Amino acid sequence: MRKRNRMPTWFVVFLALVAIGIATSILNGGQTLIVPVVLIAIVWLLYKFPPARWNRGGSARSDYQRAAAQSKKRQQARDTTAKTRRSPSPFRVIEGSKGRDDEPPTYH
């Protein structure tokens, strides 16, 4: 039986190649790693500490609570309008004179 927490072989080979590339770059001077490391650090910092203009103003939980409160208000509004009596409409049904109630519909 196969273990579930085992990494695939191709992923291990990929990590080994990445480690070899990083080691080679460090041994050759290390200046080629400055730009990628700085870019990764900037992206990570922006992910962990986003600017204030990117914040949505709350978490998903507060969004849910806001939507639940709005739904409750709508339900209460429906309950109050449903209790009022409607006036009867001025329309009425006029019975037809076709007389084909028991026949199946014709197909074109």
pTM of the model: 0.36
Q: How confident is the model at residue 58 (pLDDT cuts 50, 70, 90)?
A: low
Output the pLDDT for position 2.
57
Cβ atoms 33, 23 nearer than 8 A: no
Domain residue spans of the chain: 9-79
Q: Rounded CA gap, 27 and 21, in Å?
A: 10
